[in-house]
Structure 1
Amino acid sequence: MLKLGLIGKGISRSQSARLHVLLGRMCGMDVTYDYLDSDVIKDFDLIKQLTTCAETGYAGVNVTHPYKTSARKLITPRKRLPEALGSVNTVVFREDGWRGDNTDFVGFMRGYQKQFGDAKPGTVLQMGAGGVGLATAFGLRGLGADKILIHDKDAARGEELVATLAAANANAAFVGEDDLSDAVRASDGLINCTPVGMNQYPGCPFDTDLFGGQKWVFDAVYTPVQTAFLRAAAKSGIDVMTGFELFFFQGIEAFEVFSGAEIDADAARDEYFNAYPEALTG
């Protein structure tokens, strides 16, 4: 039995359980995956919950909003985690201590390479500097982006991410509202790491009249999979990467960390879509 879970706030709609159970089944493992929602746990405390999980047989847990940064401060990072990446989304409980990882940034890189091959990201404008934006920005750094432009309505948060990237020797700059249109036009890639486009927050985060010269786009939103942003980009002849790719590859990375197994991503994709065909559309 491989006992796993997800710690977060308002996580009832997460699809993580079905992915991890499916991956376990592919590996001949009996997997359970519990939702540990701070909205329904009385007197929730992150360190207390992690300790309870460690003491009650969990092999590990995923951690999501709003606890990724707090978890990073409590847990020894795995070697592959960049020192400046101040959040974890995966915690493994071992006899010699807890280990933290961020499979979002690795998952983004794997998704990008699956979709676009060896093509370099070039100059990329990213909307959103929150938790997923931190991971994708470090993914861009890992992929060798020429320049990472960050825009966030909260300018202080955007500037903080730029400073974090600069400390990690990435070429990054903040883009304010006045310069946003020029930045969109000048970018090779566009990324949405805001909630805009989700079923409950419909719309497109970019001015679609500025589309046409870019090479690729990515939307972290995956409910729905085909967002207004991605549809407009595809209509303009731009290659697209859906948010499902991030969800899928970060999940595979996390399961491999939890279980020690190696997952055939292509086979897992076929199995997942056969079991959950609605995932194609969100």
Structure 2
Amino acid sequence: MPAPESPSEAASDDAVIRLGLIGDNIAVSQAPRLHRLAGLQNGRKVTYDRLVPRELGQDHATILANCAAQGYRGLNITYPYKEKVAALVRISDPIVRRLGAVNTVLFEPTGAEGHNTDHSGFISAYRAARGGTPPGATLLIGTGGVGRAIAFALVALDAAEIRLADHDIEKAEVLASELEAAKPGLRVTVGRDAAEISEGAEGLINATPVGMTGHPGSPLEASAITGAWAFDAVYTPVETEFLAVAQAAGLQVISGYELFIWQGVDAWKLFTGLPLDVARLRSDLAKTDPATS
């Protein structure tokens, strides 16, 4: 089988662009639609497969290897495999190496290369909503793959303080030490109970699966949802219980759908190097899925 296309080769011929998503609970993911619509903008056919390990009877490492052998251009990676896949691929970007989590893998002739567009996508989503306003003291609930990407994005956005809440306190403490090393002098607080360390926070972020389809609820009790802004990494559904309460409390809310859009835009650029009209992409997604309109 010929080697997978490089971005320049992908943009220069009419070969099908084969993509996929490794993750659990991804039946309602809009990633396949996003990339197929991106392909249509460029007159290219895109196939995009949902690859659920338990349904395929294979582990994530086997699926990754099989896709590389079967001519896939690349894969997106979602919960709970971002950190696991990071250990299986080459990571050239020092920021992504520090994150220790990847959500995008390219199959290059030299091997599988890991990237993280959650990191870049969150920065774009935040700036689109809040401009140059810094995040302030921010509570981040969940320190897994997407949480790590957002935590380092908060450093890039010059957050004054980051509070990490996770039931796995050791994992949160490791991230705290990494953030302090990345930005000496940054104040980082760690706790198991999000509500206990939420007082006075300007920003509230949910980076857990709580609130997504199949995992109802909110990661933070309503009485603790105060501040200036809130973001939920969950985008299925677009309006989560967490964001609904935050909006009712007067906070500026940023939907996980914004992260979905921007990380997808960045992933498409990595996969293909082809241009993308983001306004048209949003419009096309809304037309094909009334839930996003």
Q: Which residue number in structure 2 is paired with residue 106 of structure 1?
A: 120
Q: Which residue number in structure 2 is paired with residue 2 of structure 1?
A: 17
Percent same amino acid at aligned positions?
40
Q: For the residues of structure 1 that align with 2:187 and 2:28, how far apart are their CA atoms? A: 34
Q: Which residue number in structure 2 is paired with residue 77 of structure 1?
A: 91
2:191 to 176, 189, 200: 176
Q: Which residue number in structure 1 is paired with residue 243 of structure 2?
A: 230
Please list every run of 5 or more consecutive structure 1 residues that lacks an aligned counterpart in the other structure: none
Distance change (3 Å), C-alpha of 1:260 and 1:224: same
Q: For the residues of structure 2 that align with 1:83 and 1:179, how far apart are their CA atoms? A: 27
2:69 to 28, 38, 55: 55
Structural RMSD (CA): 2.1
Distance change (3 Å), C-alpha of 1:53 and 1:82: closer
Q: For the residues of structure 2 that align with 1:60 and 1:259, how far apart are their CA atoms? A: 10
Please say if 1:246 is aligned against 2:259.
yes
What amino acid does structure 2 have at the position aligned with 1:200?
Answer: G
Q: Which residue number in structure 2 is paired with residue 277 of structure 1?
A: 290
3-state DSSP of counterpart to 1:165: helix
Q: Which residue number in structure 2 is paired with residue 28 of structure 1?
A: 43
Q: Which residue number in structure 2 is paired with residue 193 of structure 1?
A: 207
| Residues 13-54 of structure 1 deviation map (CA, whole Å, 9 limit, x = unaligned) | 322111111111112111000122211223x24443323222
* TM-score with structure 2 setting the length: 0.87
Please say if 1:203 is aligned against 2:217.
yes
Contact 1:162–1:172 (Cα < 8 Å) also in 2: no
1:163 to 155, 177, 194: 177
Contact 2:141–2:205 (Cα < 8 Å) also in 1: yes
Q: For the residues of structure 2 that align with 1:35 and 1:232, how far apart are their CA atoms? A: 32
1:172: how far off?
Answer: 4.7
1:135 to 149, 172, 175: 149
Q: For the residues of structure 1 that align with 2:98 and 2:242, how far apart are their CA atoms? A: 30
What amino acid does structure 1 have at the position aligned with 2:244?
Answer: R
Contact 1:123–1:146 (Cα < 8 Å) also in 2: yes
1:64 to 57, 78, 99: 78
Please say if 1:264 is aligned against 2:277.
yes
3-state DSSP of counterpart to 1:175: strand
Q: For the residues of structure 1 that align with 2:134 and 2:241, how far apart are their CA atoms? A: 25
Q: Which residue number in structure 2 is paired with residue 91 of structure 1?
A: 105
What amino acid does structure 2 have at the position aligned with 1:217?
Answer: A
Distance change (3 Å), C-alpha of 1:70 and 1:118: same
* TM-score with structure 1 setting the length: 0.90
Q: For the residues of structure 1 that align with 2:88 and 2:81, how far apart are their CA atoms? A: 11
Q: Which residue number in structure 1 is paired with residue 53 of structure 2?
A: 38
Please say if 1:117 is aligned against 2:114.
no
1:203: how far off?
Answer: 2.7
What amino acid does structure 1 have at the position aligned with 2:190?
Answer: V
| Residues 56-108 of structure 1 deviation map (CA, whole Å, 9 limit, x = unaligned) | 21111112223222221221224364331101111111123321101111111
What amino acid does structure 2 have at the position aligned with 1:29?
Answer: R
1:253: how far off?
Answer: 1.1
Distance change (3 Å), C-alpha of 1:230 and 1:9: closer
What amino acid does structure 2 have at the position aligned with 1:127?
Answer: I
Between the two proteins, the alignment pairs up a number of residues equal to: 277
Please list every run of 5 or more consecutive structure 2 residues that lacks an aligned counterpart in the other structure: 1-15
Q: Which residue number in structure 2 is paired with residue 218 of structure 1?
A: 231
